[in-house]
Every structure is written in C-alpha cells, then in structure tokens.
Structure 1
C-alpha cells in the first residue's frame, strides 16, 4: 500500500506547455506576417524578406541587450577564492598577500578609537550608557547594559570602524598598507559573503555554521583607480572618462579575514551573546580574485551573428533583384 501511495505521488511533467507556448507564439506572430507577404510576393521572396526582417529586429534587440547588460546574459562578476590561509599570511600562495601584515601586528580598532580623539568614533565606540539616559533601569540592569556596550566597543573590527570614522583608520595608515587598503564593511559585502560560503564549504577548517566564527577585516588591492575623497564635478568627469577609456582591467584581489569564537551558553528565551573571538584560534584569511565575468558576451554574439545573417539575406535579396531587372531588360529588348 505504501508503494502505491509513493507511485501515486510521482508525476511526469516535461514542461510540454512551455515548449508549445513558444512554438505557437513563433508560428502565429512570424507565420502570420510570412503568410501575408507570401500571398503577395510568393513563398521564396516572402521567406527571404521575413527572415531578413527577423534578423534586423534581432540586431536591434541584441544591441539593447549588449548596451544595458540585460536579456540573455552571461555570468555576472563574482569573487573567486584562490587561497585560504590559516595563521601567517607570509605563507600565502599569493605573493601579493604576503605583503599584508598579520592581524596581530596592527593595533586593534578599539585602540585606534581611544588614541584618535575623534568625536564621531568616540561617541560610537567609546561611550557607555548612563543612568540619566536610562532612568527606568535598575543599578544591576544598567551595569549589565554598560558591560555589554563595553564588550561591543572592544570587539569592533577595523572595517567596522572604517565604516563609521574613515579618517581614524586612514590616519593610522590602514589606507596604504603597501599595495593593500582597508575596506569598510559597507564596501566588502559581496566579498565577505563569498568568503563565508567558501569557508563553510571546507569542513577541515572546523566551522560548521556562521555562528562558529566572526568576520574581522577585509583588504583589497588592484582594480581600476577609485574616485578620490570629496570629489568635485570635474574629478567625477575625469574619473569616468579615464576608466571608460581603459581597455584592460587590472587584476583586483581581496582578503577577507575571520576567526573562531568562544563557545558561550545561550540561556533559553534570551538573545544569543555577542560573538567574541577566541585568541587561541588562528586568523583565517580568504584570498580572492575578482572575476569580471562575461555578462555582455552572449548579447554581443547575438548582435554580431544576427547582423551577419541580416547582411547576407539583404545581399541575397539584392542579387535576386538584379537578376530580375536583368531578365526584365532582356525581355523588353527582345520585344523591341
């Protein structure tokens, strides 16, 4: 009985309806035009004219796809992992990655905030809630809130600090770490997502889920020149012209770092605690290269191929018209 129930749940649906929909639409739209032309010009000429019109329309459609990167697209740009380094970046397989200092060789983000004196950074990462701001809290609740805020201040990453107070990280020299520069969390979204997926795909690293590690910092180098800070209109125009005129694309690398966290018990019904990195765990650096993809390759091939077929059909029609005119002249001369 169970076998019959299982067999009853199986279905064979090869999407015949979708195929028939496309075929019917093509026959009705193209076939109706071909039929009208064929009744006036004959089957051969109607076929040539309809095919030439279709290819001309495909040239226009393909040009729009090619221009805007839409339609039948290829692979989009993405990050490709080329190395996962555990511990010392000096042993990385990428020579450029060896130029990036290890995480423990640079000051922490909290140390940068304390030493900077920047009001924005201090108000965001070096202040604690007071009793005046929270009059409804008891002393114990206020103490717990202050401890949680202090922990949050101390575990911020350099990329998180750069997203709030870029000038603090720039003054610390993190914008020019040799060829590398620090990325803010707002700039490293897709790179961090790809790094997290690749790390979880390697069980030998010991990470089972995203709760087992904390994303630290992201660094990048190469690529097209970026727009300078506080650009004026002419800077934007010059940047757009120079980047648009650049034929080659310089290789761009990005390093995303993460580290295992301490195991913390979660009380039932309460929010999980803030992830705190385990100082005994090594820093894992995911080295990636930017793959520019080929979004516009298929539209370009459609446009160029349709254009060649269109020109060939137009030439064929031209040759046919010349032969027809030649025969007409021969007929008229024979009558004379």
Structure 2
C-alpha cells in the first residue's frame, strides 16, 4: 500500500500531458496533410511532399529562433568564477586581477563625496535629516534617524556612488584603473548575484548566509566596447553597427568584492540594523569570466539541418519527376 501511495504522489501528469499534446498535434496537423496528399498522389509521393514541406517549415521556424535567440535555445550567458582571492589581489591567480588596486589603496566613497562638492552626491550621501523636515519626530528619534543616515553615508560603496553620481567616481580616476573600470550597482547585478552564490558555496570562507557579508564594489575589464555615457541617436546606431559587425568576442572579466560584517543583536520585532563591515576582516574578491554560452547554436543546427534535408527531398522529388517524364516520353515514342 505504501508503494502505491508513493507512486500516486509522483507528479508525472505535466510530462505525460505535454508529450501527448505534442504527439497529438503532430499527428493531427501533419497527418491530416499527409492523408489528403495520399488520397491524391499515393503513399510514396505524398510522404516525400509532406516531409519536404515539414523540413521547409522547420527551416523557417529555426531561422526565426536563430535570429531572436528563442525557441529551443542553448545555455544563456553566465559568469564563471575563476578565482576567489582573500585579502590581497596582488596574489590573485589571474594576472589581470593583480593590476587592480586593493580597496584600502583607494579613497572611500564618502571621502570622494565630501571632497567633490558635487550637488547630487552631497544631497544623497552627505546630508542629514533636519527637524523642519521631520516635525513629528522627537529629539531622541531625530537624533537616532540622523545617526542612521550618517552611518549610511559613511558606509556607501564606490559602486553605489557611481550609480548616483558617475562624474564623481570618474573624476577620481575609478573609470580607468589600469585596464579595469568601476561598475555601478545598476550594471553589476548579475555578477553580484553569481558571486554571492559562489561565496556561499565555499564553506571555508565562513559565510552561512548573505547577512554575514556586505557587497562592496565591482570592476570589469575587456569585452566589447561599451556605449558611452549620455549617448545620442547617432552614437547608439554606430555602436550597434560596430558591435554587430564584430566577429570575435574579447574576453571579459569582472571582480566583485565583499567583506564580512559585524555581528549586531536584533531585538524581537525590530527592523534589522544597517550592516557595517568588520574592518578586521579581509576583503574577499571574486574574480569571474564571462561565459557567452551558446544560445543560438541549437536553432542554427535546426535551421541548417532542416534546410539540407529540405534540399535533399526536393532533389529527390526532382529526380522522380525526371524519371517519370522520361518513362512517359518513352511510352509516347513506343506508342507512336
């Protein structure tokens, strides 16, 4: 009885239903066309004609898949971790990563904000709430809010600053750190997600959950030329043409940095405190390479294979017609 219950709990219904739907559609659509052809042309000719039509349709469908990267596609582009460096990038296994300065060798994001005088940067990361803006708060609550805001300002990352005031980080030279350039948080989401997954998969690093560390900055090098800031229509068109015409894909690397945070007690029912990095812990740098995948390989093979079979079947039909015409001519000659 227990075995029957186990078998009954297996969720095979979606798989069986999908197979039956595809098989039924194939049999009804293709079978109906084949049946009509059989009644007019015979089994052999009808089979050749139906198969040629199917392969021609598959070639057209595959070409659409090939152009748009849809349908039965391959693996999407992903980030692959090649090195996880702890503490000193100068000891990284990737030679290019050794050219990237360590975080303590660069000014902090808050220092850049204070020294820049940029209106946008100062408004976002160097301004504290006032009593006039919060008339409903008492003195203690306002002081607590100001302390939390100041903590946020002092712990912002360079990537967070770049997403708000790119000019500040560019003026500090973070756009050209040798071959590397700073990525804004809006540009590094997928790389940070992959870095987090890989870090959690390594128990030797001591991170049990994303709450144990804070994502810092992300840097990238290589790849196709990027579209410049604030592009106009001509810039977009020329970039699209040059990028599409480029046959090779330069190797692209990205470094995502993170650091362990201080343990803070959380009162029951209270909001979690703002994470603060532990200055005594080393910075972990996850070095990744861009794997472009093979999204269009399967559609390309379907298109080319279907087209070749279509040509072979058409040639077969052509040979059959020539043979039929020759026999008809021979019959007419003998009859005359």
TM-score (norm 2): 0.97
Aligned residues: 333
Helix, strand or coil at the partner of 1:59: helix
Alignment of 1:1-336 (within 5 A): 4=1, 8-11=5-8, 14=12, 15-336=15-336
For structure 2, list consecutive stretches of 5 or more residues without a partner in the other structure. Answer: none
Helix, strand or coil at the partner of 2:266: coil
Helix, strand or coil at the partner of 1:76: coil
TM-score (norm 1): 0.97
- Residue 229 of structure 1, CA deviation: 2.0
13 and 188 in structure 1: CA distance in 2 versus 1, 3 angstrom threshold? closer
Query: In angstroms, what is the RMSD of aligned CA positions?
Result: 1.2
- Residue 327 of structure 1, CA deviation: 0.4
CA distance in 1, matches of 2:123, 2:153: 10
- Residue 24 of structure 1, CA deviation: 2.0
CA distance in 1, matches of 2:257, 2:24: 54
Deviations 1:205-230, CA, capped at 9 Å, x for gaps: 00000000000000000000011223
5-14 or 89-98, which deviates more: 5-14
CA distance in 1, matches of 2:264, 2:239: 49
CA distance in 2, matches of 1:20, 1:164: 53
CA distance in 1, matches of 2:232, 2:49: 53
Runs of 4+ in 1 over 6 A off after TM superposition: none
Helix, strand or coil at the partner of 2:129: coil
Helix, strand or coil at the partner of 1:254: strand
CA distance in 1, matches of 2:230, 2:140: 46
- Residue 55 of structure 1, CA deviation: 0.2
